[in-house]
């Protein structure tokens, strides 16, 4: 996800938010995987923080503009 954003000259909201969703989905998978048990607390804290900011922005007009379609 970092490389996708780094490759953009000007990352736009519609790409950033899709990547945040992908990132949180991956972190949720890692948090449930016993292989990542040593860092589970960190993953869960990161998910809490990311979700807090995602849902804060989701209640703004920018979120709705970003998801609108141009016709």
The two structure tokens encoding residue 16: 């950033």
Residue 26 has what pLDDT? 92
Burial 11-38 (b: 16+ CB within 10 A, else e): eeeeebbeebeeeeeebeebbeeeeeee
The answer to whether the beta carbons of residues 66 and 14 sit under 8 Å apart is: yes
pTM of the full structure: 0.65
Given a cut of 70, whether residue 58 has pLDDT beyond it is no
d(CA 7, CA 27): 22
69: helix, strand or coil: coil
Given a cut of 50, whether residue 36 has pLDDT beyond it is yes
14-35 per-position pLDDT tens digit: 677 778 888 899 999 999 999 9
């Amino acid at each position: 996800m970092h490389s996708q954003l780094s490759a953009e000259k000007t990352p736009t909201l519609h790409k950033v938010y899709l990547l945040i969703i992908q990132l949180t989905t991956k972190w949720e998978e890692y948090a449930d995987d016993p292989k990542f048990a040593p860092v589970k607390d960190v993953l869960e804290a990161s998910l809490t923080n990311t979700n807090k900011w995602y849902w804060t922005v989701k209640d703004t007009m920018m979120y709705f503009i970003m998801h609108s379609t141009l016709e």
